Amino acid sequence: MSINTTPKQPGKVWLVGAGPGDPELLTLKTVRVLGAADVVLVDDLVDPRILAHAKPAARIVQVGKRGGCRSTPQAFIEKLMIRLARRGSVVVRLKGGDPFVFGRGGEEAEALARAQILCEVVNGITAGIAVPAAIGIPVTHRALAHGVTFITGHARDGAEPDWAALRAGGTTLVIYMGMKRVATIVKGMLAAGYPADLPACAIQNGTLETQATVVSTLSTLPQSIANAGLGSPGMLVIGDVVRLAHVTALTSQQRAA
């Protein structure tokens, strides 16, 4: 009797972007890769309807990460991906938006490379483009903004952005994870010389049926957000392009139609 002593081949990890929320904004490649996964590690912001594209036998593991809530430690997620891949599993690390835009995908790719685990990236539509577009805001516009800058409102070291340098750049600002710190953000921007009447908006649950928006000015944005009761997950968009927002044209009933 022969015994097969061939070692089991290692699996691989896909770092996959699930897009800004709306399941119809998935890429075709994301759908294909999800359908081949043995294990799917899912972030908290991924719409549950997206998991319909996973094969029935796939193991779904929630590894939620959201500001202000109890989160799965990043080190644990990285070790879990490595352990599963070494067992021969095809692993999908499913993240909201794009894995390389404030998604910690770069850190995970480095960890997998150190462990000599095969890794591929599937980009997703980042919320920084799709969420403003959901209310008619183009983040760039030849007459209004020659560029766009994505920044986080929740830096790891607690440092504030160089607001003066950003003002000099003259780009649209799209701020991820800034809803809870909006008052501090606005204070810093005003101190750096941004106009108090600069158009600004906040968008919660962008691209979903529960999307809610306020359009305001920079100086009044914190109070407008408080009055509307908006919270996370949300995004701030600041710049002249916000003048093009057409919030009233995008009610939840119309989006569901």
Running along the chain, 257 residues long, what does each successive block of 10 average in pLDDT? 52 96 96 97 94 96 69 91 96 96 95 96 96 96 95 80 95 96 96 97 95 96 96 95 76 42
CA distances (Å), 19 to each of 45, 68, 84, 116, 210, in order? 10, 22, 25, 28, 16
Q: What is the phi/psi pair of residue 148, to 5°?
A: -135, 145
197 has catalytic annotation: no
Whether the CB-CB separation of 215 and 169 falls below 8 Å is answered with no
43 has catalytic annotation: yes
pTM: 0.86
In three-state secondary structure terms, 72 is coil
CA distances (Å), 116 to each of 68, 75, 80, 111, 119, in order? 33, 17, 14, 9, 9
Of 96, 88, 97, nearest in space to 41 by CA: 96
Measured CA to CA, the distance from residue 207 to residue 253 in angstroms comes to 13
Question: Longest C-alpha distance within the chain, in Å?
Answer: 82
- CATH 3.40.1010.10 residue ranges for the chain: 12-125
* CATH architecture of residue range(s) 128-256: 2-Layer Sandwich (3.30)
Whether the CB-CB separation of 93 and 72 falls below 8 Å is answered with no
Find tokens 């005003």 and name the residue: 190
Measured CA to CA, the distance from residue 175 to residue 183 in angstroms comes to 13
The catalytic position among 81, 98, 177, 179 is 177
55 has catalytic annotation: no
The catalytic position among 22, 43, 98, 189 is 43
Measured CA to CA, the distance from residue 107 to residue 16 in angstroms comes to 14
Measured CA to CA, the distance from residue 238 to residue 139 in angstroms comes to 10
Find tokens 């920084």 and name the residue: 128
The catalytic position among 22, 65, 179, 235 is 65
Q: Per this entry, what is the length of the chain?
A: 257
- CATH 3.30.950.10 residue ranges for the chain: 128-256
Q: What is the phi/psi pair of residue 132, to 5°?
A: -60, -40
- pLDDT on residue 1: 41
- Assigned CATH topology for domain 12-125: Cobalt-precorrin-4 Transmethylase; domain 1 (3.40.1010)
Measured CA to CA, the distance from residue 21 to residue 8 in angstroms comes to 37
Query: Which strands make up the sheet holding 148-152, listed edge to edge?
Result: 148-152, 172-176, 234-238, 199-204, 212-217
